[in-house]
A and B are shown apart, each in its own frame.
Chain A
C-alpha cells in the first residue's frame, strides 16, 4: 500500500472513532471553553481581554491539543493496536500522515469554536480585510501543530510516564507556532491597530515550521514508535 493510501485509511479510521465516541466533542471542547472562561477570571479586565484574545485562543488550543494527542494515542495503545499496526507492516510514514490529518481536522474544529468563544466572551471583531489572512493562519498553524503533536505523541505513547513526558517534549517545540499564529491572528483581527499586511511574514514562519516537521516526522516516525 502506498503511503498516501495508508494515510487516508488511518485518518478515516481516527475520524470514525471520534464520530462514534465523541470524546473530543463531549470532553475536549468543553475543557477548552472552560480554559477561555478561566482566562477571563484571571485577567479580569475587558480591554485587556480584547487585546490579548488572539494569544489566549492559541494558548487554549495548545492546552487542548495536549489532551487531544494523549487521546489519539490512547486509542492505539489501549488494546495493542499500535503493535498490531507495526506487525501488519503498515507504513509508518502513512501512519504519521494519517494520524496528523485526523488531528488537524479535530484541531481546526477546536480552533473555530475557540475563536467564536473569543468573539462572544472577549468582544473580538472578526471580518473585513483580514479574513483571508485569518483562514491562512489557521490552516498553516494547525498543520504544524498536528505534525508536532503526532510526532511527539507517537514517541511518548509507548513510554512510562507519557502524560508528563509529552508536555515537556512538545510545548517548547511549538513555541514558534504560538508566537507566529498569535501575531498573524492579531494582524488579521486588527488587534492593537495592526494591519493584515503585518501578518503575512508570520505565515512564512508557520509554513516553514509545518514543512520541516512534516518532512522530519514522515521520515522518523517509524523509528520513534518502534518500541
Chain B
C-alpha cells in the first residue's frame, strides 16, 4: 500500500465512476410489487430516476424505503410490475445489474477481524480497483491515517460507517444506494459524506438516499420523493419538508 501513511493532498480527485455503459433513465419502476415473508413491502411503486440525480427517499418507518433500495440493487425479487435498472430488466435477471451498483445498507458488510485497509482493498478488488484508487477511497473518507491498520472490530460505530463508505467509494459504482448513511456518523463524517455524494453525482453517478434526517439530506438532494404504504409520491421541491 503506497499511500498508507501519507495523506492525499486533494481529496476532490478521488471519486471516480465506471461509466460504461451509459443508460437513461437509470432507474425505471412501473407498478412494482415486492414481497418479503408474505408481506408486500412495495405495493405498486412507480419511479423514474435520471443520471446525475441525488434523490432523497423519505417517509415513515416501514414505508418501503429500504426495500426500494434493495430492489434496485437486485436483492429483492420483483413479484409484479416492471423494474429496469441501468437497462437491465430485473424480472429477467437480478444479477447482471449488480456489478454497477454500490449499496450501503443498515449493516456495513465489513469483516470485523480485518483492518480498515484490508476491507477497502477487498471490496475495491471486487471491481478491480487499483492500489491508487483504494488509497484515494481511504483518503476520501479520512481514513488514511492511523486508523487504516486498525481491525474493524476495534472501531467506533462512526468509524465503521466511514470504512463502509470508503468501500463504497472504492467500488466506483454508477448507481449509489444509501440507506440512512448519516446515521452514526460524526459531524465531520457527515460533511465528508455529503461532499462525496455531490462529487459522485457530478462525475456522472446517480445517487438514491433513504434518510430520516430531512434537513440534512434535503439540502443534499436534487429531488425528493415520499414513500408510504409501499407506494412512491413525488414531492415538489420547496414544498413542505
Contacts and interface: CB of A to CB of B under 8 A. Distances in A.
Kindly list the 10 A-B residue pairs having the minimum CB-CB distance in the complex, ordered from nearest.
A84-B109, A89-B98, A80-B107, A89-B99, A21-B113, A20-B113, A87-B73, A87-B103, A81-B109, A17-B113
A21 B114 CA distance: 8
Most buried by A among B73, B105, B115, B125: B125
A130 to B, nearest CB: 39
Given A6-B126, A16-B114, A89-B126, 13 more contacts: A13-B114, A20-B115, A79-B109, A80-B106, A83-B75, A84-B103, A84-B105, A85-B126, A86-B74, A88-B126, A88-B127, A88-B171, A89-B98
A222 interface: yes
A79 B163 CA distance: 13
A9 interface: yes
B126 A79 contact: no
Given A79-B110, A81-B110, A86-B75, A20 B151 contact: yes
A17 B126 CA distance: 17
A86 B102 CA distance: 11
A36 to B, nearest CB: 28
A86 B113 contact: no
A78 interface: yes
B112 interface: yes
Given A9-B122, A87-B101, A17 B111 contact: yes
Interface of B: 73-75, 95, 97-103, 105-115, 118, 122-123, 125-128, 151, 171
A78 B153 CA distance: 12
A90 interface: yes
B125 A16 contact: no
B105 A80 contact: yes
Main secondary structure of the interface of B (DSSP, over half): loop
A79 B112 contact: yes
Contacts of B95: 89, 222
A222 B93 CA distance: 13
Contacts of B106: 80
B113 A88 contact: no
Interface residues of A, number: 22
Contacts of B99: 88-89
Contacts of A9: 122, 125-126
29 contacts: A1-B127, A6-B126, A9-B125, A13-B114, A17-B111, A21-B113, A78-B112, A79-B109, A80-B106, A80-B108, A81-B111, A83-B75, A83-B105, A83-B107, A84-B103, A84-B109, A84-B123, A85-B109, A86-B74, A86-B75, A87-B73, A87-B74, A87-B101, A88-B98, A88-B127, A88-B171, A89-B99, A89-B100, A222-B95
Contacts of B97: 89
Contacts of A1: 126-128
Contacts of A79: 107-112
Contacts of B115: 20
A78 B108 CA distance: 10
Nearest to B72: A87
A108 to B, nearest CB: 21
A90 B112 contact: no
A75 interface: yes
Contacts of B109: 79-81, 83-85
A90 B99 CA distance: 7
B233 to A, nearest CB: 27
A20 B114 contact: yes
Contacts of B98: 86-89
Nearest to B104: A84
B178 to A, nearest CB: 12
Contacts of B102: 87-88
